[in-house]
Structure formats: C-alpha cells, structure tokens
A and B are shown apart, each in its own frame.
Chain A
C-alpha cells in the first residue's frame, strides 16, 4: 500500500473530494475544453485574464481522482500568476509527471510536487495532464469572449 499512497496522497484525495474553483466563470475571456477519449474524462477550463494576469481561473468536468485533483490544484496554483508564469509552470508540471530525473528545477512548483508519484504510472500521466493541456489551450486562444456552452 505504501507505493499506492505515493500516487493517492492525502492532498490529492482531498482535492478530489472537494475540488476548489469548481465552477464556471460567467465573464471568462478564455475558455477551452479537454477530453480524454480513452477514459471519457471531460473538463472545461475558464479564465479571466486581466492585463496579462490570471485574475480568476476555474474548471468544471468529470474525471478520476488524479485528473480532478490536478485540475483543482492547478487553479489554486495559477490564480494571480501572469500568463508567462503559467506557461512556465505548465512546462514544469509536464516534466514533473513524465521525467524520472526530478531535482531542484521543481523547487517553485510547491504543493504540485505531490503529483510526482504519477510518473510511476505511465497510463495515468494523461489523467494528470488533461487539465494542464486544456489550460494551455485556453491561454493560446485568441477570442475575447467565449460562449459558456
């Protein structure tokens, strides 16, 4: 069970049970949908980007514990960050869950480090990164406003 706990850490289980920022943002100016056809996980990420800063970020969707917790913790981590910072964290997170050579470069990633256990479960990497890829797609989106449906 000890290695299972590396994956299902308390903080992950907590975010799965009580996801933070689990809502739509009505006046979002960035939004993207993510879908994992392998498992049917769906997510929509909403952002309010003001002067290059993520004034608000939230999500809705259905998914496993890993994908829900990842989305929840992502929104907590990115709120208040600049767009440029968000892109850097995106890269760091991606390396965190795929690379086996961790190290000091992840020092800034804070609580997100709990997802390092995912790298031992290659089939679950997509679960952990779905929200992040969706967030990235939202950042790259050009439209000013997006329909919520």
Chain B
C-alpha cells in the first residue's frame, strides 16, 4: 500500500478523537434491545453521520428539483449540488477528469455496467475473464452471465489457507485469451487487502485492463486511481457512510468513450429521432433516467466527512483496533479466525467449534452487539474454508476497544448458553 497520498486535509497532529467522532452519528444515541448500540456490521453497511443526513434532508427540504433540464432556479441549484458531489468524488479517488466518474446505484450495478458494455464488446467465444477465489457474488455472477452469453470462461485465482491472493498462480493464468481482470481490493468475507498494485502491473504488462471492486476499500484506505492505474473502480456510497442506492463507477476516459451505453432513456442522449439517437457525452452517456439526486448529494457529504477525518487517520485507527480485536478473539477457546492474511482491513470473520454462526448472531444481538452471520455473499470462500457460514465483525471509523470488549463479552455469553 502506498502511504500518504498527500490529499488528506485532516490535521494529523491531533489525536484521533473517537468519542467526538461517535457524536457525529445520531444512531449511537438510539438504544437497541435496551442497550447502547455496538455496531460491528460495517462491511454490510455503515451508519450515517449527521452531515450526510442533513445533506439529504436539505435537498428534499430546500432544493428538490430534477437536474440537467430545468430552466428554473431550483433545478439549477439541484444540478449544481449533484455535480459538486461528482467533483468531490473525482478529487477523493484522484480521477483525471469528471467524465470518468459515473454515478450508479452501487458496486453491483457498476460491475454489471462494465460486464454488459465493455464485456459484451470485448469478450468473445473462448476468451477468459480472470477473477479471484475471494470475490463477492457481485463480482462473479455478472461475469458468469457474460460468459454464458459469449461462450467465454472465468478463470479463478486461488487463495492460500490464510486467505491471501496467490500472485504466482495469477501470473500463470494471464494469457492471450484474457480480456479482463476483475478482483476485489479488500475481501468482504476475509478482510484480506490484495496486492492490487502488483495485480494491475502484471495485467498491464499484457495489455489486459483491470477492474477493482473497491466496495470494502474506499472507506478504509486512501485510493488514488491514477497511482494505481486501474482501468475501472467500483464502489458503493452506503458502505462509506453515505446513503444507500448510490455508488460510483470510475473508468478511464478512453475506455468509457468507446463503450456502448448501458441503459437507454432520458439524460443519456443528446439527440433522438425514431431512426437514430446521438448519445450524450461522458459521464451522462451511462446515466439514463433521473438519477438518485439526493443520494449523490449525500455521497458528496460523506466524502467531505471522510476527508475531514482523513483516510490515513482512519486506516491507522482501524488497524490498531483490528490488531486488538484479533488478540482478544484469540483468548476464546474453540474460536477460529477465518482469514488471517498479513495485510487485512476491517473484517474479523470467525467460527466457534460446535456453535452455528446464526446462534452466535442472535445471542450477540440480545447483548446489543450487531454482527453479520452467513456466507457474506461469498459462497465460494465459505466452500474453500469448508464452512457453510461464519460470524463476521467488521470495523468502522467510530468503533472502539469497548466495542471489541462487548463483542468478546457477548461471545462468552454464547459459550455459556451452549456449554
């Protein structure tokens, strides 16, 4: 990972003040099952700071109008707020231009968009798409749909028993038939941080473009798409403290330019007759229909919020918490951590001998601790580790050592019930 991209606007001399950060999130004032919330399900979705909630409310209260078409005052204001968010996101990931920032519903739609446009025009019979064994279903199924249609096939980079991406095997899989590499930056089920810089470099040696699924990355580590040189990057707003239903596809301008549209409709056209339609310029070519305006504005506020704390500071805080959490979980007998890669972020996935993750989840919930249980939309990962499911605690910028202690306390209760 590259340290320090120089775009942190936070004041690093100040200690990370987690209690004041928690005050930014109104949900922590809401009791759950009569207790204050211990929220450790951040890989599923994050809570929202007041500033994001306010931005969405402000839009509906004072600026609500459709964008890109009205001649009236409110439409102009809404358009400005929405496009201002695009500009914040461009800066946040250091895209070269605004044309490269496409608003979508979320990571899933971003991957599907690339599969259905770039994929359908570049992948043919016998061609191959390389993914990894730790992908989320949303970075598997869109490629399967494409491969079925085109008679192409998916090649899967294996992972080690600790959950690490196997670079040598990956290098072997890249060949003359490889049309695209699509891998996750950080695994949602294991927490593994993949060596994306190296993954991209190796693919580019063979002129193969790379899509990064950054759904679990943008909120945890600084991302600079130009330094990474990735060709596509997909992420969701709701996992980075923004609203649901909004996300981003970043694509290099030359690639987006030559890709056909994804959906047809309003806003993505510049001129329509019944014979022929001229498509709008980037990024609007990929934004058919009235978009999630409030979501886009809320996402801009989420970017502001993350930058006010600083991704490097967030990373350091979460890394410290991750180490602490790992040590604490190790104190419990019969508990096995699934995913022990050297480079990890946010995710503590585990199983307890003889106790199903669902039972763990229910009992922890009663203790006011929210975690996720199940296969985490990564069934191939579960199959690899020979378990139908895991319990997963995932950390966010507002979590504390007390949250980890509550988790461990809850797990002792679990073992009491099942002793």
Q: Which residues of A contact B (CB under 8 A)?
A: 1, 3-4, 7-8, 13, 38-42, 62-66, 68, 121, 124, 127
Given known contacts A38-B374, A41-B388, A7 and B362 CB-to-CB distance under 8 angstroms = yes
Tell me whether B358 is interfacial, beta carbon within 8 Å. Answer: yes
Q: How far is the CA of A121 from the CA of B33 in the complex (A)?
A: 13
Contact with A along B88-121 (1 / 0, CB 8 A): 0000000000000000000000000000000000
Q: Does B373 touch A at the CB level, under 8 Å?
A: yes
* Chain B contact residue count (CB 8 A cutoff): 18
What's the Cα separation between A8 and B366 when bound, in Å?
A: 12
What is the predominant secondary structure among interface residues of chain A facing chain B? mixed
Interface of B (DSSP majority class): helix
Chain B nearest Cβ from A36, distance in angstroms: 9
Chain B interface residues (CB < 8 Å from chain A): 355-359, 362-363, 366, 373-375, 379, 382, 388-389, 413, 417-418
Distance between Cα atoms of A90 and B406 in the complex (Å) = 39
- Closest B residue to A68 by CB, please name it: B356
Contacts of A13 in B (CB 8 A): 417-418
> Is B388 within 8 A of A124, CB to CB?
no
The smallest C-beta distance from A114 to any residue of chain B, in angstroms, reads 15
**Residue pair B366, A4 in contact (C-beta under 8 Å):** yes
In the complex the two chains form, is B388's CB within 8 Å of A42's CB? yes
Q: Which of A3, A7, A65, A121 contacts B356 (CB 8 A)?
A: A65
Inside 8 A of B418's CB, which chain A residues have their CB? 8, 13, 65
Q: For residue B383, which residue of chain A has the nearest CB?
A: A40
Partner of A66, one of B359, B413, B417: B359
Set B373, B375, B388, B417: member contacting A4, Cβ < 8 A: B417
Collect the chain A residues with CB atoms within 8 Å of residue B355's CB: 65
Q: Can you list 15 A-B pairs, Cβ within 8 angstroms, ordered by A?
A: A7-B362, A8-B418, A13-B417, A39-B358, A39-B373, A40-B374, A40-B375, A40-B382, A40-B389, A41-B388, A64-B356, A65-B355, A65-B418, A124-B358, A127-B358
